[in-house]
Each structure stands twice: as C-alpha cells, then as structure tokens.
Amino acid sequence: MDKLRNFGRGIDDVLLPTFAAYAQYIIAKESEIRSTRHETHKYGFTDRQQLDIYYPDRAPTEPFRAKPVLVFLYGGGFVGGDKVNEEYAHSLVFGNLGHFFASRYGITVIVADYRLISHGAKYPSGGEDVKLAVDWVVNELSKKDGYESIDLFLFGNSAGGIHVTTYLVAPDFKADREKVLAEERKGAGVLLRGAILLGVPFHWGNEDNAILRGYLGEGKIWENSSIGILEKEKKKGAEPKLPGVKIDVLVSELDPQLMFDSAQQFRNEWKSVDTTYDVLEGHNHISPQLGLSTGIEREEAWGVDVAKFIKSRATK
C-alpha cells in the first residue's frame, strides 16, 4: 500500500494510521472471512490461555502425509493484543489470517492468546505459553480424526515472535522441544517442521524502559533477549539444535532499522540451524497480517510465500 511510506517507520507512529488504512479492505471480505469454521479452546491453566483454531473446508490441493498446522502468536509489545481484535474492522482480525491460510491452502491455523504483563507475564512465560500451545496440539488436536500425523509450524510476530524464539532457544524448553523434533517423520505424531519469525526484535540495542524491565527482568534485558540467550548457551557449549526444522526470518521493508540489524545478528549467531531471510516489500511493522484476505495480490504476496515455505517443509 503506497500510503504506508508516508507514515514513517516508528511502531507508535504507524500503528493507528495503518489499521485505519486497511479496515475497508478487510470489511469488504467479511462474509468470506467468517465462512471459515473455527472453534475456541482453553490450552493452559489461566483464562487468558485460549486459542482459536481455523479449519480448512477442503483437503489441501497437494497430498500431504501429515496435516500442516500453523500456530500464530501476534505482536503487542508484551502489553497488548488479542486473538480477536474486538475494536477493529468488525472483529475480523485475526480471523482474516486464519481464513487466508485455511481456506486457500488447506492449512489448519491456531491463533493463540498468551499472557501479557497485565496477566503477570514475566520471562520466560511467553515461552511457557508456546510450550503449552504445542502441548495442546500434541495432546488434543492430534486425537482428532485426520490429525494423527501433524507437521507443526510456529509463527510469531514481534512480541509473539520473541516468545516463539524463547521456546526454540531457551534451555528451559529443551526437553519439551525434543519431544517434537526429528530429522524425518517415522510415523504418526506431531513433528515441528518450521518457524516463521516476522518483525522480531531479537534484541533491543541500548533500549531500557519499564515494559522491557517488567517482562525481561531488571538488568536482564540483554541476557533474556533471543541473542543474549544464544550467546549464553554457546558459551556453555549448549547451542540449541533443531533437527528437521527450518526458520524463515522476515522483516518488513518499512520496519525500524533495529529489526533488520537484529535479524542479521540472529542468523549470524545461530549457525547450527537452517534459516532463510526475506524482506516484505512495501509493508511496515503492522501491515502484513492486515493485508491477508483482502484479495489484493501485493498485500497478500508475503502470505503466499509463507504457504510455499510450509509446503516445502511438509513431510510427504
């Protein structure tokens, strides 16, 4: 969307104008978005830990040996965000994301709420919530007919991407990761095949504020950042391994410069994992998800690429 360039790059600057710019296009597709069947389930021990699951209305266009399942965690700076934005575009976000991947590509989509600072969130609670969502897939979804074999993909944007990365790199979750990791599928069950990390600050440079201290801990903003965790693990000779997993790192063209810098540092720091990197042309920090299900080709192009990534990682 051409007008995005006029909004600048600062997240606070682009937030409201970007939402306003996309509302009409999302609302125009309301009936289509609402046509995708979905359910709400509790996946954790608090009322906040709930997820919406969006089901494909048809089989994937290509035969899969296992069902592709995409778990999405939105952004919100540790203080905001909901799986359904009740105050915007007739409550169609993030149903538009679920509809896009489920209806067009036959991918089952989970959009999960996670604990914010107002719910007592404190590092590593974001990784804990990802772990609990994965547990729900293993213990509940895989018991449904047709879901006996699942290729799992984790997708995190901004703060949600920080939580996904925490799950992938922090030693707290090593044993849990190993339950869903393998080079190749050798039967039924849930197998982690990929992660998509969109607009994720893998560190915050010299930034120090109350929100970062509140979630990451006083004096631990660097230590508990994704790169800080990786550095610490590598010094111990315990760099995390993710056999069979590929990571797709995405940055929007109009993202703050920190996103570009930290993404490259993240890839350079984590050499043992297979990563790809791409820049979403014309998008800013807020716009990618809002462009899905609008029917506008260039707005949805990045989603098409994510679907291709998922298909390329699926076990046949």
Q: What is the pLDDT of residues 196-205, one digit of tens each?
A: 999 999 999 9
Q: What confidence tens digit (pLDDT) does each residue in 172-184 have?
A: 999 999 999 999 8
Q: At how many degrees (to 10) do helices 95-105 and 297-313 cross?
A: 60
| Predicted pLDDT of residue 42 | 98
Give the whole-number percent of the chain exceeding pLDDT 90. 94
pLDDT at 186 over 90: no
pLDDT at 295 over 90: yes
pLDDT at 130 over 90: yes
Q: What confidence tens digit (pLDDT) does each residue in 79-105 have?
A: 999 999 999 999 999 999 999 999 999
| Predicted pLDDT of residue 60 | 53
Asked if the bond preceding 94 is cis, omega within 30° of 0, the reply is yes
* pLDDT confidence tier of residue 132, bands split at 50, 70 and 90: very high
Q: What is the CATH number of the domain that holds 97?
A: 3.40.50.1820
| Number of domains within the chain | 1
Place of tokens 């990571």: 247
Q: Which two tokens stand for residue 45?
A: 């021990």
| Predicted pLDDT of residue 187 | 87
**Alpha-carbon span 130 to 154, nearest angstrom:** 9
E-only strand ranges, 11-148: 38-42, 50-54, 67-73, 108-112
Closest CA to 22 of 74, 78, 70, 94: 94
The mean of the pLDDT values for the chain is 95
DSSP code of residue 125: H
DSSP string, 195-217: EEEES--S--TT---HHHHHHH-
**Alpha-carbon span 283 to 285, nearest angstrom:** 7
| Predicted pLDDT of residue 262 | 97
| Predicted pLDDT of residue 91 | 98
Answer yes or no: pTM beyond 0.85: yes
pLDDT at 62 over 80: no
- Segment (H or E) for 152: strand 149-157
| Predicted pLDDT of residue 314 | 87
Backbone φ and ψ of 195, nearest 5°: -140, 140
- Domain range enclosing 38: 2-313
Closest CA to 156 of 271, 241, 74, 262: 74
Asked if the bond preceding 60 is cis, omega within 30° of 0, the reply is no
* pLDDT confidence tier of residue 150, bands split at 50, 70 and 90: very high
Plot region of 8 (φ>0 → left; ψ -120 to 50 → alpha; else → beta): left
| Predicted pLDDT of residue 145 | 93
**Alpha-carbon span 225 to 227, nearest angstrom:** 6
Q: At how many degrees (to 10) do helices 125-139 and 159-169 cross?
A: 70
* pLDDT confidence tier of residue 58, bands split at 50, 70 and 90: low
**Alpha-carbon span 76 to 222, nearest angstrom:** 19
| Predicted pLDDT of residue 2 | 81
| Predicted pLDDT of residue 57 | 86
